[in-house]
A and B are shown apart, each in its own frame.
Chain A
Amino acid sequence: MNKVLGGVVIFLSLFLFSASPVSASDVHGEKKEKFSAGDLIIEHITDNHDWHLFGHLSIPLPVIIYKPGNGLQVFSSSRFEHGQASYNGFHLDAKNHIVAEDNGKFYDLSITKNVASLLIVIVLMLVVFISIAKRYSENKNSAPKGLQSWIEPIIVFVRDEVAKSSIGEKKYEKYMPFLLTVFFFILFLNLLGLIPLAPGGANVTGNIGITMSLALLTFIITTISANRNYWHHIIAMPGVPVWVLFLLTPIEILGMFLRPFVLMIRLFANMLAGHIIALSFFSLIFIFGEINQWLGMGVSVVTLIFTIFMTMLELLVAFLQAYVFTMLSAIYFGAAVEEHTNHEHPPHAEISEHIEEAAMV
């Protein structure tokens, strides 16, 4: 009976979410260990040195370590034997982190699961957009076709509704490559994360390192392109009494860093939450299944419905978060290059708008 249950779960998991629940069924079925939903979820949403496919099958990924004085080392993560063995003075700890046995300083540049996902998305993006661009330059002034007609409305939307409306007709062009790249990068990663099978399923946009890098780029571009007007508003808000400035200027300076920070947290938290919720629904099957296998099967029907609903929602969130990140980046760029002071719309109004939006999302 357990086998049947496992088969059903494998079948469902192929359609619904990442391959991790399968490993849970192994845990449940073979090793007779107590099922831990927390471990399952943490294993899925954190980065890994190998890519778990199903059952005991996983792809080892290359480990790249740079240790000052020791040079660059490249070897397969299978050398660690899932934390059982150490190699060249390194081993994996319980959280799948590489640690040096001599406690020396080293840089871990390994191609982890997330980095591999990143590379897949990059190849995907290059193939998709360069082939589309080719069609654009080959068939000028003709109606879009195939993939091009799916992508074109999004490009036009980012250009007209995001860039033009937030940055302005005159200056938006300079920021278009970044905005488009960020939008599709996040979108592709989000969508890929929804696919349960490899090469999908990795929780990349729900990783703080990824969102931090993206927010950092937005922050750098904002700061580099900021004009006098922007700095003037931050350091000494025009039309405000001097004594208020003592209060306002620190807030503005803090706000300058807070904006990219919020950008980072929002994408991270949204995507992470989506993965955790979907996995939690799955874990319910096993939790109830441990109590009684019939109960587990009954719950799996309910869970199935919930998971379908969540996947639909996540599909929406995938687009929404890509849009929100791009939109807010564009608004920050727009604020940085705004020419004359518009007293009717002081920057705080804009920020409070963002906060409302953030609360909403």
Chain B
Amino acid sequence: MELVQPAFGLVFWMLVSFLIVLFILGKFAWKPILKALKERETSIEDALRSADKAREAMENLKADNEKLLNEARAERERMLREARDTKDAIINEAKGKATTEANRLLQMAREAINNEKQAAITELKNQVATLSIEIAEKILREQLKDSAKQKELAEKYLKEVKLN
């Protein structure tokens, strides 16, 4: 029976000491420990969450970079193409212009040549006419030196001129 009879002294010391321990540990041990555990858990959770976020941001950044790179590549392609096109256009234009200019100059030269030629021909004609007249004058003078011949010629023309 002794086993199941609580001793007064033991219960007294037990309650007193337990309550003191409860108070001291509650204030100086459990409170800081539980607080620290909670803080650590939140900080771990935060760290995990921010790591997730960072990874997501990294992925976004990577995608962005990829996009940017692709865009840059496309842009370069476009610029190259444009440059080529422009170059071709410029060359073609230059070629065209040169051709027309050459043609124009050729035309002008031809016209000038023609004009010169006409002028030369005209002058030649005039000179030929003058020379012919002088020659004719000289021939006539030679032939009509004696009066007999002048008379004969006059007669001949008179004969020709029929008095009709």
Q: How far is the CA of A114 from the CA of B27 in the complex (A)?
A: 26
By the criterion of a CB under 8 Å from any partner CB, how many residues of chain A are at the interface? 47
Q: Are A208 and B18 in contact (CB under 8 A)?
A: no
Residue ranges of B at the interface with A (Cβ–Cβ < 8 Å): 2-15, 17-18, 20-22, 24-26, 28-37, 39-40, 43
Q: Are B9 and A109 in contact (CB under 8 A)?
A: yes
Please, could you name 23 A-B residue pairs with CB atoms under 8 Å apart, sorted by A? A45-B3, A46-B2, A47-B10, A64-B9, A107-B9, A108-B8, A112-B9, A115-B14, A118-B17, A122-B20, A122-B21, A129-B30, A130-B24, A133-B29, A136-B36, A137-B32, A155-B33, A177-B26, A181-B21, A181-B26, A209-B7, A213-B14, A214-B18
A131 nearest in chain B by CB position: B29
Q: How far is the CA of A95 from the CA of B5 in the complex (A)?
A: 13
Residue ranges of A at the interface with B (Cβ–Cβ < 8 Å): 45-47, 64, 95, 107-112, 114-115, 118-119, 122, 125-126, 129-130, 132-133, 136-137, 140-141, 152, 155-156, 159, 173, 176-178, 180-181, 185, 207-210, 212-214, 216-217, 272
A178 nearest in chain B by CB position: B22
> Known pairs A110-B9, A112-B9, A133-B28. 19 more at Cβ < 8 A?
A46-B2, A118-B14, A122-B17, A122-B20, A126-B21, A132-B33, A136-B36, A136-B37, A137-B36, A140-B36, A152-B37, A155-B34, A156-B37, A178-B22, A178-B26, A180-B30, A185-B18, A214-B14, A217-B18
Q: Are B15 and A129 in contact (CB under 8 A)?
A: no
Which residues of B are found within 8 Å of A64, using beta-carbon distances? 9
Interface centre among B21, B33, B34, B39 (most CB of A within 10 A): B33
Which residues of A are found within 8 Å of B20, using beta-carbon distances? 122
Which residues of B are found within 8 Å of A180, using beta-carbon distances? 25, 30
Interface pairs A-B: 4 shortest CB-CB: A177-B26, A209-B6, A136-B36, A129-B29
Q: Are B34 and A159 in contact (CB under 8 A)?
A: yes
